[in-house]
């Protein structure tokens, strides 16, 4: 495993490489954020950003979305994967927000994960991006990159999240989450990583074979 000094050096280099790394999902408020993140499961942020403008124009608040029929919402999101399940989830999410939280997105983890379509990753993204908490949200990019370069050595998403929380400085959790995502999209590709472009190649366990 890396020393604390090495970890901070890795994070410094990633942040220097991706100074503008932030949530790529376009949203105007926390309600739009939680819906967009829920829609992004097993779908690219780019694909979600194509469908959400019309969706949010039709249903700008939880109150409008809560009154919608699943089939109506499906028409707005049918270009992304699992659109029927996701339509059901975001309508259910809106209904829960209206009924339980006066139309407001709750700002604590336990309440968030009770909402339809909201798992650990979505809850962590909402708390980080929407409420400014330091959180590590582990998506496919974070899972792959963190384990590939050797920040952690875990076999599943939950263990990866918990181990990253253990080894990374807490004040860098959220920024690291975004840096790892950008690195996974731009350089550390799943099939053909562009190692010649990598700012942390000297640390990478994948390259060194250690």
The CATH number given to whatever domain includes residue 157 is 1.10.1670.10
Are residues 143 and 203 both part of a single domain? Answer: yes
What single DSSP character describes residue 130?
I
Give Cα 96 to chain centroid, integer Å. 22
Q: Which of 182, 136, 189, 195 is nearest to 18 (CA)?
A: 182
- The whole-number pLDDT of residue 51 equals 97
Q: Which residues are catalytic?
A: 121, 139
- Quote the CA–CA distance of 172 and 11 in Å, as a whole number: 8
Domain termination residue (choose one: 78, 111, 130):
130
73 with 98, same domain? yes
Q: Are residues 102 and 160 in the same domain?
A: no
**Do residues 106 and 164 share a domain?**
no
pLDDT of the residue at 170: 97
Tens digits of pLDDT across the chain (210 residues): 899 999 999 999 999 999 999 999 999 999 999 999 999 998 999 999 999 999 999 999 999 999 999 999 999 999 999 999 999 999 999 999 999 999 999 999 999 999 999 999 999 999 999 999 999 999 999 999 999 999 999 999 999 999 999 999 999 999 999 999 999 999 999 999 999 999 999 999 999 876
Assess whether 149 and 203 both reside in one domain: yes
The predicted pLDDT at position 111 comes to: 97
Rounded CA gap, 118 and 111, in Å? 10
Residue 185 shares a structural domain with residue 151:
yes
First to last CA, the chain: 10
Structural domain boundaries, residue 199: 4-21+136-208
Last residue of a domain, one of 113, 130, 147: 130
166 and 99 housed in the same domain: no
| Number of domains observed in the structure of the chain | 2
- Same structural domain, 37 and 9: no
Boundary-marking domain end, from 79, 97, 130: 130
pLDDT recorded at residue 178: 96
- Say if CB 185 and CB 136 are below 8 A apart: no
Q: Are residues 148 and 172 in the same domain?
A: yes
Are residues 141 and 102 located together in one domain of the fold? no
Q: Are residues 57 and 81 in the same domain?
A: yes
Specify the residue for token string 């949200």: 137
DSSP 41-107: TTS-HHHHHHHHHHHHHH--SHHHHHTS-HHHHHHHHTTSTTHHHHHHHHHHHHHHHHHHHTT---S
Answer yes or no: pTM beyond 0.75: yes
Cα angle vertex 99, ends 93, 102, to 5°? 100
Same-domain pairing of 51 and 102:
yes
pLDDT attached to residue 209: 75
């Amino acid at each position: 495993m890396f020393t604390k000094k090495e970890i901070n050096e890795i994070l410094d280099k990633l942040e220097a490489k991706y100074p503008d790394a932030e949530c790529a999902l376009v949203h105007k408020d926390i309600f739009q954020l939680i819906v967009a993140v829920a829609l992004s499961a097993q779908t690219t942020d780019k694909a979600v950003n194509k469908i959400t403008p019309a969706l949010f124009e039709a249903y700008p608040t939880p109150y409008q979305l809560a009154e919608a029929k699943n089939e109506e919402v499906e028409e707005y999101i049918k270009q992304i994967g699992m659109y029927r399940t996701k339509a059901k989830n975001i309508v259910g999410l809106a209904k829960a927000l209206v009924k339980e939280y006066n139309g407001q997105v709750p700002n604590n983890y336990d309440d968030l994960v009770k909402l339809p379509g909201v798992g650990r990753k979505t809850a962590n993204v909402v708390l980080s991006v929407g409420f400014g908490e330091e959180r590590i949200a582990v998506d496919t990019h974070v899972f792959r990159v963190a384990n590939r370069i050797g920040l952690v050595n875990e076999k599943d998403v939950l263990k990866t999240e918990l181990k990253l929380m253990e080894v990374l400085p807490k004040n860098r959790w959220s920024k690291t989450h975004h840096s790892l995502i950008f690195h996974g999209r731009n350089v550390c590709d799943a099939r053909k990583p562009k190692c010649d472009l990598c700012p942390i190649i000297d640390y990478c366990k994948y390259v060194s074979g250690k």
